[in-house]
Amino acid sequence: MVKPDPDIYQHACKNLGVAPSDCIFIGDGNSDELRGAAQVGMLPFCAAWFLRQHTDLLGEDIVMRRAAGYPVLYHPSEVADRVRDICAVC
């Protein structure tokens, strides 16, 4: 299995014992992984901090291209903030 095949996300959820709707997925957007995560019900985020380290190779607009309308995280510390925001709504 490889991203964005839905089976890879469902397999991970099954092994963790959680529903996809209870998961967030954080990735750099390569291999259409954000779309794949969204299709199974996960909440995807684009890891911009990782991409911004490689703009010399990937281009200045890499975050915009890879995020493709998904929420963007600019620093790993934002993960905890987003989880708190999500849990506050639940």
Are the C-beta atoms of residues 66 and 39 closer than 8 Å to each other?
Answer: no
- Let me know how long the chain is: 90
Token couple for 15: 């092994």
- One digit per residue, pLDDT tens: the chain, 90 residues? 899 999 999 999 999 999 999 999 999 999 999 999 999 999 999 999 988 988 998 999 999 999 989 999 999 999 999 999 888 876
Between the alpha carbon of residue 14 and those of residues 7, 19, 44, 47, the distances in Å are 10, 8, 18, 24
Q: Distance between CA 24 and CA 5 in Å, rounded?
A: 17
Q: Enumerate domains of the chain plus CATH numbers.
A: 6-89 (3.40.50.1000)
- pLDDT value at position 42? 97
- pLDDT value at position 8? 96
Question: Which residues is 73 bridged to in the sheet?
Answer: 47
Q: Distance between CA 56 and CA 44 in Å, rounded?
A: 25
Give the closest residue to 73 by CA, choosing from 5, 34, 27.
27
77 CA to centre of own chain? 15
